[in-house]
Structure 1
C-alpha cells in the first residue's frame, strides 16, 4: 500500500449525508454516577468498572444494563433481543485481544449463565499479541472466534486469510463501514474526540480540524496526547493514509513545536484536562465519560472534529476463524454480541458506541450518524509499522 493522497482517495466511497453536529456541551447534564472506570487499554489492561446498585428497569435489559446516571431513564429499547436468536449450545474457544477491564469476561459469564449448555474457553492477549498469535498458529489455531478491541488487529488476521466470510444474518444490523468485506464485524465503537477544560474554552473555540490545533494559542504548551497508545497510533495511521506521509510528518512536528505533552494513556490525558493541567488533548470519547462518572463537577467536556483523521471512529469487533469446526455456533455467538441486550451492555458499562442504530449512546453524545468520520476503510488500519517508523523519526516516540 502507498501512503499518498491519490491511492487513499481512490478507495473512498461518496460521503453519505449526515446531520450537522451541534457543537454544544455534550456532558453538561451528566449527574452523579455510581459507575467508575479507570483506564489504560494498552495491551488489554483496561481498568475495572465497579458498580453500586443495579438498574432493573427495561425488562431483560436490567441484567445487562449498567447503573448510575449514564443508564438512567433508558427503559425499553429496540433491536433484536436474545430471546429471538437461536440458543447458544456448545463450547467455543475465544481469543480476546484487549480486555476492557474484564467487562468482556463479565458479558461472557452472563451468556454462560443464560444458556446452561454453553461455555467459553477464553484466552486473553493484548490486541497486537492476539493477532500475532493467531497468525503464527495459522490453520492450527484452536480458536473459534477472535474478539478484539481494535479494527487493525482484526484486519491483520483477516488479511492472512484466516477468517471466514460472515453471513448476512450476522452483519446486516451493522453499518457497512464496520464490517469491511464481511471478514469481521464491529461490536462496539469508539470515537476520537478532544476533551477540553470548560473553565478555559468553549466548544466553539476548539477548531473543527486537527490541522489547526498547533496554531491555537490556548493549546500552546497545554495540549496532551498519548503516543504509545494504540488508539493514538491508529489515528496517526488514518492521517497518514488520508493525507500522506509528509503532511502527517509536518503536522506531528508542528504539534511538538507547540509543546504537546505526552501521557502514558488517554485516561490520564482526560484527567489532566479535568485537573486544569492542560487545556485539551486527544482521547477516545469514553475516557471523558469515565472521568465525569467519578467526578461529575469536573470542568470537562468533549469536542469532535469533522471529516479528518481526528474524527476517526474505530471499533472493537469479532471474526470467525477458518480453522474452527464450530462456525455455526460462532456466528450465533456474534449475533448475541449484536443483540439489543449486549449492545446496551457495551453502551452503559463500557460507554462505547453501540453498533446497531436502535441503541443510543449514553451521556448526551452525538450518534454515529451525527459524527463525521473520514471515509476510510478500517481494514487499512492494520498497516501500523510505517506509522511507528514515522513517530520515531519525528521524535514523538
Structure 2
C-alpha cells in the first residue's frame, strides 16, 4: 500500500488560534495565533477548548465547529507511548507533536513508514514489538493486523465517537478521518450534469474520449478497482478497465497530478480522492475544477485512515486515550483544514464545496478491510494491460 503523498510540502510549525471551537474557528491560511484554553505549562482547564491546531492551509473561510469533544474534556495523557504511523509525518506530525506537547508527563515516539510495512514489522517483532498504537492510512492494513490477532478491542466510549460503518464491527480499530472517491472535472468544459453518476457509464461516454485521467499505480485507485471486483465481479471489472483503455484514458503517476492536469485543461475529467481537488483549490481558488460523485458504486467508495491498540502494549489505557485524542474536535478540525480529509466525528464538517459525510452515497455491503486484497486486482490490471 502506498505511503501518503505530501503535495504541498511539510506543514509549518503549529500555530494556534485563541478562539474556542464553540465560538467559531478561523480557517484562514497563515493564521498567527497563540494557544488558548490551556495554561502555559501545557495542562488543561477543562471548561475551555484547546483551540485550532495548525497553520490553517485551507482558504475557505471561517469555520464554526458545533460537534465533537474537545481535548480539554478528555482524559489527560501520562506516560510513554510508541506509535507506528503509516500516515506521513508531513501530514500528521504537527498534530502528534501538539498532543505530545500538551501534557508535561506524556511522551510519544513515532516510527513513520508505509502502513503495510509496519503491519509486517509488528508481526515480525511478535511479543517483543514496542508498538502501542498502529496508525494506518487505510482500513485494510488495520484489518490485516486485527486478523493476525495483534490488536486489542478499543473501549466502547472511544468507538462510539465514530459511526458504525467507519469502525471495525468487533471494535478492534476505529477510523479517524476519511476520503471519498470522486470525479474531478473541468468547469470550463463541463457542468455537473455532464458527469455520469454511475461509474459504469464512463467507458461508453464518447464525449470524454482522450479526456479522462487516472493513476493506475496509485494505491487508492487500486483499492477502487478492488471495490469494483467485490461489488461486480472480475469479468465486469475487466470489461470496465478495457473500456477505459479503448476510450483513450490518460495515465498519471498520482491523483494530485490528475487533478492538476484537469485544472490546467490538459484533460477534462478524471478519478481521484476528494482531497486532491481541495489541495489544488487551496492554492488556486479560481481554478476551473470541481468535484462530482457517483452513487452507490465502486466509484463512490469511502475509505478511512484509522488506528488501533497493539496487543503487546503495556499501557492499553494510554494507547486508547491517545486514539481518543485523534477523534477530538480539534484533531478532526485539523484533518479537515490541514489534510483536507473528511472528519468522522459528527458536527465537524469538511472544508470546501463538498457534501456533508451523511450526504454521500457509498456502496452498501463493502467491508473496508477487503480493499487491502490487492493481489488479484494487480494481476487483473496487468492482464488487461493497464499496468
Verify same fold: TM over 0.5. yes
Relative to structure 1, the CA distance from residue 61 to residue 69 in structure 2 (aligned partners, 3 Å threshold; closer, same or farther) is: farther
Match of 1:179 among 167, 170, 190: 167
Match of 2:67 among 70, 78, 85: 78
Match of 1:381 among 371, 375, 378: 371
For structure 1, which segment, 74-83 or 323-332, has the greater mean C-alpha deviation from structure 2 after superposition?
Answer: 74-83
Aligned residues: 356
Match of 2:3, SS state, is: helix
Q: Are the aligned partners of 1:54 and 1:67 in contact in 2 as well (CA < 8 Å)?
A: no
Superposition pairs for residues 22-61 of structure 1, below 5 Å?
42-47=2-7, 48=9, 50=11, 55-58=17-20, 60=49
For structure 1, which segment, 50-59 or 236-245, has the greater mean C-alpha deviation from structure 2 after superposition?
Answer: 50-59
1:154 aligns with 2:114: no
1:218 aligns with 2:180: no
In structure 1, runs of 5+ residues without a counterpart are: 1-40
For structure 1, which segment, 157-166 or 128-137, has the greater mean C-alpha deviation from structure 2 after superposition?
Answer: 128-137
Could you give the per-residue CA deviations for residues 6-45 of structure 1, whole angstroms, max 9, x where no partner exists? xxxxxxxxxxxxxxxxxxxxxxxxxxxxxxxxxxx94244
Match of 1:63, SS state, is: coil
**CA-based RMSD:** 1.8
CA distance in 2 between partners of 1:92 and 1:54 (Å): 24
Superposition pairs for residues 185-264 of structure 1, below 5 Å?
185-264=174-253
Match of 1:300 among 285, 289, 307: 289
Deviation at 1:69, TM superposition (A): 5.2
2:333 maps to which residue? 344
Match of 1:365, SS state, is: coil
TM-score (norm 2): 0.88
Deviation at 1:46, TM superposition (A): 2.4
Deviation at 1:50, TM superposition (A): 4.5
Match of 2:337, SS state, is: helix
Deviation at 1:320, TM superposition (A): 0.6
Deviation at 1:158, TM superposition (A): 1.1
Q: Are the aligned partners of 1:97 and 1:127 in contact in 2 as well (CA < 8 Å)?
A: yes
2:27 maps to which residue? none
For structure 1, which segment, 360-369 or 133-142, has the greater mean C-alpha deviation from structure 2 after superposition?
Answer: 133-142
For structure 1, which segment, 282-291 or 41-50, has the greater mean C-alpha deviation from structure 2 after superposition?
Answer: 41-50
For structure 1, which segment, 210-219 or 279-288, has the greater mean C-alpha deviation from structure 2 after superposition?
Answer: 210-219
CA distance in 2 between partners of 1:57 and 1:275 (Å): 38
Deviation at 1:70, TM superposition (A): 4.0
Q: Which has the higher contact order (CA 8 A, sep 6+)?
A: 1
2:41 maps to which residue? none
CA distance in 1 between partners of 2:263 and 2:129 (Å): 45
Could you give the per-residue CA deviations for residues 181-221 of structure 1, whole angstroms, max 9, x where no partner exists? 21110000000001100011001110011100111123211
1:368 aligns with 2:357: yes
1:396 aligns with 2:386: yes
CA distance in 2 between partners of 1:70 and 1:90 (Å): 37
Q: Are the aligned partners of 2:50 and 2:71 in contact in 1 as well (CA < 8 Å)?
A: no
Match of 1:374, SS state, is: coil
Q: Are the aligned partners of 2:81 and 2:107 in contact in 1 as well (CA < 8 Å)?
A: yes
